[in-house]
Amino acid sequence: MKQNLYNYILGIADNSLILGQRLGELTGHGPSLETDIACTNISLDLFGQVRSYFQYAAKIAGDNRTEDDIAMLRKEREYVNVLLVEQPNRDFAYTMARQFLFDVYHLLFLQKLEKSKDLTLSAIATKSIKEVSYHERFSGDWIKRLGDGTEESKTKMQDAIDGLWTYTDELFHQTEADKAMVAEGIGVDVTKLKETYYKKVNEILEEATLEIPESKWFQKGGKDGIHTEHLGYLLAELQYMQRAYPNMEW
């Protein structure tokens, strides 16, 4: 159970770690000062959640690794985030579409994790729900603003949704650790979130006058450590300081 719990925590935390890093890349590059600060704060929220998860993971591992070691010193194949969150910031519409498609899932997930028998995970979820509720409102508002905006903004948002749709189904795939933790009453059965997720996403897309993609072809692999080419570049930047200056402490 110890190893399954450790792997389960990585599966949760890596999503927020990688998405937080992606949003951090936008600091100073947002379309407006207010939006720039909002994206930076969402990134910081995600990193705060990651720190709580990895502190717990380090405690479970019991091998003197720190939260920083777990976050920054693994190899690419050892990260188990979904492919969605590692997609690059192609433009602002793409960034908000990626955020929205993850936020809807993230909030549903945390609302279930709050009921976990594991009190530490439950506490992290309870604290995180307030933050992620804001994240979902923020990204959802941008979907509607850009989708029902100018002809150009609508086109860019539709292109972003169409391009990212292929990564959404992986959110509901279960790993062996997921299944083991669900059986213990600790984990969330993500397969049961799928219907609610797509219903909510589709409602927002319709409100934004965007077309719901009809593609039934989906990509997966991230939860098994098989990633797109984008993750390697992201990790090179994320891990630079820890690898260049081993054992560095802040």
Would you say residue 249 lies in a domain? Answer: no
Give the 3-state secondary structure of 122-168.
Answer: HHHHHHHHHHHHHHHHHHHHHHHHHHCCCHHHHHHHHHHHHHHHHHC
Boundaries of domain holding 120: 2-244
Domain count along the chain: 1
Profile the chain (250 residues) by mean pLDDT over runs of 10 residues.
Answer: 93 97 84 82 96 96 88 94 96 96 98 97 97 97 96 97 98 97 97 98 97 92 96 92 78
Q: What pLDDT, on the 0 to 100 scale, is given for residue 1?
A: 67
Tell me the per-residue pLDDT of 50-66, one tens digit each, with 9 for 90 and over.
999 999 999 999 888 88
Would you say residue 118 lies in a domain? Answer: yes
- List of residues 6+ apart from 115 with CB closer than 8 A: 122
Closest CA to 87 of 104, 102, 105, 68: 102
**Residue 24 contacts residue 99 (beta carbons within 8 Å):** no
Would you say residue 250 lies in a domain? Answer: no
Task: Output the domain CATH number for residue 223.
Answer: 1.20.1260.10
- The 10 Å Cβ neighbour count of residue 97 is 30
Tokens for 236, please give them.
Answer: 């090179």
- List of residues 6+ apart from 144 with CB closer than 8 A: 204, 207, 208
83 in helix, strand or coil? helix
**Distance (Å, rounded) from C-alpha 56 to C-alpha 214?**
40
Q: Taken in order 169, 47, 235, 224, is the CA torsion positive or negative?
A: negative
**Distance (Å, rounded) from C-alpha 1 to C-alpha 57?**
13
Would you say residue 227 lies in a domain? Answer: yes
72 in helix, strand or coil? helix
Buried residues in 126-140 as b, exposed as e (16+ CB within 10 A)? eebbebbebbbebbb
Would you say residue 177 lies in a domain? Answer: yes
Q: What pLDDT, on the 0 to 100 scale, is given for residue 125?
A: 98
Would you say residue 88 lies in a domain? Answer: yes
Would you say residue 25 lies in a domain? Answer: yes
For 135, list phi and psi in degrees, rounded to 5. Answer: -55, -45
**Residue 105 contacts residue 171 (beta carbons within 8 Å):** yes
Count CA atoms within 13 Å of residue 126 on its CB side. 9
pTM: 0.94
Would you say residue 186 lies in a domain? Answer: yes
88 in helix, strand or coil? coil
